[in-house]
Amino acid sequence: MRDTAEDPQAEGAEPVAEAGPAGGGPVALALRSGGEAVRRRFRAGELGSFPVVLVLATVWIIFQSLNANFLSPRNLSNISVDIVGTGMIAVGIVFVLLLGELDLSVGSISGLAAAIFAVLNVNNGVPEWIALVAAVLAGTAAGAVQGYSCAKTRVPAFVLTLAGLLTWNGLMLAVLGTNGTVNLDENGLVAKLTTYYFTNDAVAYGLAAVCAGAVFTISYLDRRRRVAAGMRHRSMRYIGVRTGALAATAFVSAYLLNRFQGLPLALLIFLVVVAGLDILLRRTHYGRQVYALGGGVEAARRASLNVTGIQTAVLAVSGTMAAVGGLFLASRISSVSQSSGSGVLLLNAIAAAVIGGTSLFGGRGTTWSAVLGMLVIQSIASGMAITDTPTAIQFVITGGVLFAAVLIDALSRRSQEAHGRA
């Protein structure tokens, strides 16, 4: 497959031509269809989100056959709200995984942020939005401290964040004090986060249309620019199919959500955050540095990247997202207690990122994997609840899915390396 590269006669035999304008090579490249590149990437072990979509479809089919209510608008709408809290945390975990590190403190940080909000707002009467900002910034600060010490001491992040897990949990208990549980204002801003629905059908449909339109416009403009420059570009058919698939997903989701209570505010915020951070990671200077660091710290350092700064920033993002997730989780049960942020929350967040296709070895993955992974985990949980299956089995099945995800990750990595050696 790669033998062209070893071929000494490879195109252009004259030694070191002047850097002229793009000649025959790029045009020939442009003529090659995009399909070939896709196939090659598949064989080289870059599966992307394909396995997780397959798993999700399987889970849905199984539970739908067990209980006809599983794919009802009501249940799907509930799942879409339930994924948000843990999903926000998982988005932060994706950032950390991209560095090839692990953040174990996110559960505790989420609990700490929720406690800070509850105590400031409910117990001390601080205006809600100030308490909200304070809670989120506390998460940012906690993450930044961990990131900076991690970068400076060069201790693996999972050890330092293990210390963080205990520290922030202790701090949360101290903040909550002796009274244990704080109930949030039922009509407050934070409670509204997960209880507000856009009941007007037009909102969901409108947003679906806007998203599809935006994706199409951006792909089209990019294509036009590439065509004008005589460069390799995507075919109109590819853009059409991609936009069509996206639009179909968006409109079906909108239709289903509208048949229950409309578009949930929580889901909208979640998708906006995920899309925004995806653009940050894949289309900006900052994101490119995160990926580079995951590909090789030493290589990144020699390319004169600021390694300390990036590591600090990544763990700060993870802390911030943990705090945001903690507020959504608190909103869902409209209270904060000493058990906030404990239990399987941390494990679910990490599992979601990995199941969604973010590599444990660093450098591969997108924020969308948090959404897909959470959908799988929450679908299993919800399906188990509907079919009255005991929690024990739910854990075993989620564990099995995680195991499969890690296996796929490791195998695809090995296959990539094998292609490199070929």
Partner 1 sequence: MPAAPLLALRGVCKRFGVVEVLKDVDLEIHAGQVVALLGDNGAGKSTLVKVISGVSPADKGVIEWEGRTVQIRRPHDARDLGIATVYQDLALCGNLDVVGNLFLGREIRRFGFLDEMEMESRTIGLLERLTRAIPDLRAPVVSLSSGQRQAVAIARSLLGDPQVLLLDEPTAALGFEQTNEVLDLVDALRERGMGVLLISHNMGDVKALADRAVVLRLGRNNGFFNVNTASQEQIIASITGATENVPRRAASYETRW
Among 178, 186, 302, 392, binds partner 1 (CB under 8 A): 302
Residue 353 makes contact with partner 1 by CB under 8 A: no
Among 183, 200, 284, 339, binds partner 1 (CB under 8 A): 284
In whole angstroms, the minimum distance from the beta carbon of 310 to partner 1 comes to 11
Among 39, 40, 74, 152, binds partner 1 (CB under 8 A): 40
Residues 359-418 that bind partner 1 (CB under 8 A): 362-364, 416-417
- The region of 84-92, 228-236, 375-383, 404-412 touching partner 1 under the rule CB under 8 A is 228-236
Distance separating alpha carbons of residues 211 and 112, to the nearest angstrom? 35
Contact between 319 and 146 (Cβ < 8 Å): yes
Residues 41-100 that bind partner 1 (CB under 8 A): 41, 44, 46
Q: How many chain residues are in contact with partner 1, going by CB under 8 A?
A: 59
Instruction: Between 166 and 422, name the residue whose CB sits nearer to partner 1.
Output: 422
Residue 159 makes contact with partner 1 by CB under 8 A: no
In whole angstroms, the minimum distance from the beta carbon of 258 to partner 1 comes to 33
Distance separating alpha carbons of residues 304 and 102, to the nearest angstrom? 24
Residue 6 makes contact with partner 1 by CB under 8 A: yes
- The region of 4-12, 132-140, 235-243, 248-256 touching partner 1 under the rule CB under 8 A is 4-12
Among 31, 178, 187, 298, binds partner 1 (CB under 8 A): 298
SS3 string of the chain?
Answer: CCHHHHCCCCCCCCCCCCCCCCCHHHHHHHHCCHHHHHHHHHHCCCCCCHHHHHHHHHHHHHHHHHCCCCCCHHHHHHHHHHHHHHHHHHHHHHHHHHCCCCCCCHHHHHHHHHHHHHHHHHHCCCCHHHHHHHHHHHHHHHHHHHHHHHHHHCCCHHHHHHHHHHHHHHHHHHHHHHHCCEECCCCCHHHHHHHCEECCHHHHHHHHHHHHHHHHHHHHHHHHHHHHCCCCCCCHHHHHHHHHHHHHHHHHHHHHHHHHCCEEHHHHHHHHHHHHHHHHHHHCHHHHHHHHHHHCHHHHHHCCCCHHHHHHHHHHHHHHHHHHHHHHHHHHHCEECCCCCCCCHHHHHHHHHHHCCCCCCCCCCCCHHHHHHHHHHHHHHHHHHHCCCCHHHHHHHHHHHHHHHHHHHHHHHHHHHHHHHC
- The region of 105-113, 150-158, 172-180, 302-310 touching partner 1 under the rule CB under 8 A is 302-310
Q: How far, CA to CA in Å, does 201 sit from each of 258, 379, 412?
A: 6, 25, 42
Residue 31 makes contact with partner 1 by CB under 8 A: no
Residue 152 makes contact with partner 1 by CB under 8 A: no
In whole angstroms, the minimum distance from the beta carbon of 96 to partner 1 comes to 16
Instruction: Between 237 and 283, name the residue whose CB sits nearer to partner 1.
Output: 283
In whole angstroms, the minimum distance from the beta carbon of 224 to partner 1 comes to 11
Instruction: Between 26 and 73, name the residue whose CB sits nearer to partner 1.
Output: 26
Residue 5 makes contact with partner 1 by CB under 8 A: yes
In whole angstroms, the minimum distance from the beta carbon of 215 to partner 1 comes to 15
Binding track over 100-129 against partner 1, x by CB under 8 A: ------------------------------
Residue 37 makes contact with partner 1 by CB under 8 A: yes
Contact between 353 and 369 (Cβ < 8 Å): yes
Residue 422 makes contact with partner 1 by CB under 8 A: yes
Residues lying near partner 1 in the complex (CB under 8 A) = 2, 4-6, 8, 10-23, 25-26, 37, 40-41, 44, 46, 222, 225-226, 229, 231-232, 279, 283-285, 288-289, 291-292, 294-296, 298-305, 362-364, 416-417, 419-420, 422
